[in-house]
Amino acid sequence: MKKPEILQSSLVVPATVTPRESLSLSDHDLLGAHLHNCTIYLFKNTQGAKDFFSVEVLKSALAKALVLFYPLAGRYVVGPDGRGQIDCNAEGVPFVVAQLDCRSDDIQLEPISTEIRELFIPQEPQSLSLLQMLQVTYLKCGSVVLGTFSHHILVDGKSAAHFFQTWSMIARGDLKSIVQPSFDKTPLCARSPPKISYDFPAYTTDQSNIKGSPNACVLSLFKLSQEQIRHLKIRCSNGTSTYVSTFCAVSALLWKCYCIAQGLAPGTKSCLYFGANMRNRIHTPIPAYFGNASIRSSVISEVSKITSSPIGDVADTVKAVIDGLTEEYFRSLIDYMKVMSDKKMSVRPKDVSESDLMIRSIIGLSLCDVDFGWGAPQLFSWERPTRSRVAYIQNELGNGAGIKVVLSLDPSTMKRFEKVFYEELLFADE
């Protein structure tokens, strides 16, 4: 497919004067991946609106949103002490307008390939210092693709949703619903003296097993309807009234299917990695905090217990770890990060081993349903096509929809997984 034609490329700066300051980054911020997370939205002009996705409307709303989210208009720099920080200099957010000579039906956006994804995201040579990049691409059928790049050093999934929702609210004139972001990192600071009460196997100072090259992988899309989710959660409750979250039920299903499909030896230890949001789990919740407040957690079990046990037992194993993510756990982790800040600690792993699976979830986040005034998107993609043994979970678009899973595996394992998922587990009687 041909590359899009760039119609204009500019920097959108805050609409009014914003604080000129250096925003410090926490040990938690600096520990995260120094890369950009990508989201791709497809909006269809179903009503034939003449001003559909007006560049003027989008830019004006963005400039106003950047007054509230002013660090995004700055740059990531290394300070005099060698520590990363945000220079809030209001230099602006790159905003690219392009057109592509094809129709939306000609493009496969779910699951998305690396080649297709790169058509719709800004190609900036200085991207490592840029905190937010945006591209609006008009298709010849009248549809529009919005591609975004958000730097993980400052923005996690919850923060990205907060920014995009605010931008879209301003664009459609819904100013009453805007929630002011907070950049105060005090609630997430380490204690003095530090108190470490837990082990954190999802974090490591051992760099020897961290790979830098991507695994060969293919992406497959799996959809679970509301009724299938309801049935799965009943199975996961083991016939009791115990509440099982959608995340817990789907994660247990994927983990069990993966271990069977991978053909792992019964005595092998398998680890399920996943993220958890700290904002509402601490004593004084910080729901409007803008920054990184998601941590990596993990659950480990023998493969034999995962593959031979009822799905409810696997869900119990996952649920027990999630229930243990208390405020003291988070405080201990923050203290641990502070104590180990000079030890080159990193999130484990960049590429998980063949016995492990990583879950990335945005269930419940308002990241995929932004409405700029021309209706909600018809498609949304956020997976990273180069990462293997990763499952990306999100709510399906639309009211009453179910769950969408994009799974990244090597080709041979994927074929076995699809068989296990559809024929042996999802509709199995236990």
Q: Annotated catalytic sites, by residue? A: 152, 371
Distance CA(329)–CA(336), nearest Å, equals: 10
Output DSSP code: residue 324. Answer: T
Distance CA(395)–CA(401), nearest Å, equals: 7
Cβ neighbors of 81 (< 8 A, separation 6 or more) are none
In 3D, which of 87, 208, 167 has the Cα closest to residue 373? 167
Distance CA(183)–CA(286), nearest Å, equals: 10
Distance CA(198)–CA(337), nearest Å, equals: 12
With beta carbons less than 8 A apart as the criterion, state whether 176 and 138 touch.
no
In 3D, which of 406, 389, 393 has the Cα closest to residue 261? 389
Q: Edge-to-edge strand order for the sheet containing 357-361?
A: 218-224, 403-409, 390-395, 357-361, 269-277, 294-302
* Paired strand residues for 357: 272
Taking residue 343's Cβ as centre, other Cβ atoms within 10 Å add up to 9
Q: How far apart are the first and last CA of the chain?
A: 47
Token pair listed for 167 = 């931008």
